Amino acid sequence: MNGATTLERIESFLPERSVRIDDVAESLGLRRAEVGVFRKIYGLDRLRFDPGTGLFDLVLPAARQALKALPEGRRIAYVIYAHTMQTLTPPHIDAAQVIREDLGLPDAEAFALTQQACVSSLGAIDLAGELLRAEAPEGAYALMVTGERAYSPKVQLIPNSAIMADAAAACLVTLDGPGDRVRSHVTRTLGEFAAGLDMTKEQTQGFGRVYGTVLGEVIHRAVREAGLRFDEIDLVIPHNVNLVSWRQTIKDMGADPARFFLDNVAHYSHTYASDVFVNYTTLRERERLVDGRHYVLVSVGLGATFGAMVITHRRRSA
């Protein structure tokens, strides 16, 4: 079956507990000057971080909220749990199955995607569309969910890059629905940085050197494949890694910084695969998303995959 992938409902969830980066500095082993760099240069300030929230308590609220947009009589064919860290639960617990069961979707096929780390969520939306086109009954839906906790200092600090935080999101996907239309999805993977968090200092520096250029190219390619020019893009809705990386990328692209929504970097920091959806819901609540205009969802996953998805927003009643 043909048809365009459409995003019928995007929801996000943030734990109430908000801390300053200074509050997690000791557990992360950050010296005062390092905290200063994260605050002043990287633009981080606060993050949501609640060690008392369980994984499923974090993931399920946004998923339940998104499911409310499922029309009567329609069914969810796939639940795709996109996350960054490969291991989030003990081996005997398959998180995707637990999410499916807790959502009351016994007929859905549930699985996880992690290989693209923090950009796995965009890949999961693309895959949901492909599966719906390839094999699902007409009118079926897929639910993409994200959400993982910064459960250990080892997965909370990306040295010289980011301080990870808690959040979750969900996206209800179908084909040719009235929601936001996916116009393109582009990824580029640089395998030489596959070691991710275990990269050597030289590899990390090499990654830093190519980051802005490659990310800019991926964004431009996604815009071209959507049949658009960059000046037709209303806003880039990015991941919240830090302001330095984005300043460099924006400079490399020769783009107007005002077209990049970076307000949430200081409020929420980088929430693994959830950022772009958290930022989308912030923009929607501010009534900043305009019917018929085009937006680029962008993220980068350690490992390293750069991803961009162009969507056309379509306003609909909540």
Partner 1 sequence: MERASVLSAIEQALTEVLERPVTGLTDDIRLFEDLHLDSTSILELLMALEDAVGISVDPEDLDMEDFRSVGSLTGYVLSQQATSEV
Query: Which residues contact residue 175 at a Cβ distance below 8 angstroms, ignoring those fewer than 6 apart?
Result: 1, 3, 4, 5, 6, 129, 132, 133
In angstroms, the Cα distances linking 48 to 2, 99, 164, 226, 252 are 40, 22, 9, 34, 31
33 is a contact residue toward partner 1 (CB under 8 A): yes
Look-up of token digits 């929801």: 11
Looking at beta carbons only, is 159 or 178 nearer to partner 1?
159
Q: Which of residues 87-126 bind partner 1 (CB under 8 A)?
A: none
* Residue reference for tokens 């927003």: 313
Crossing angle of helices 243-253 and 201-225, rounded to 10°: 50
Residue from 70, 248, 73 nearest 172 by CA? 70
Judged by CB under 8 A, the residue of 160, 189, 203, 282 near partner 1 is 160
Site string for partner 1, 214-253 (x = CB under 8 A): -----------------------------xx--x------
Nearest approach in angstroms of CB 246 to partner 1 is 12
Rounded Cα gap, residues 107 and 95, in angstroms: 16
Q: Output the CA–CA distances (angstroms, integers) from residue 215 to 186, 252, 254, in the order listed.
A: 11, 9, 13
| Least distance (Å) between residue 35 CB and partner 1 | 8
Q: Which is closer to partner 1, CB of 75 or CB of 251?
A: 251
Query: CA nearest 146: which of 47, 238, 66?
Result: 66
If one asks whether residue 31 binds partner 1 (CB under 8 A), the answer comes out as: yes
Smaller CB distance to partner 1: residue 247 or 259?
247
Q: Would you count residue 34 as binding partner 1 (CB under 8 A)?
A: yes
Site mask for partner 1 (CB under 8 A), range 181-210, x = bound: ------------------------x-----
32 belongs to the binding site for partner 1 (CB under 8 A): yes
For partner 1, the binding residues (CB under 8 A) are 31-34, 36-37, 40-41, 160, 205, 243-244, 247
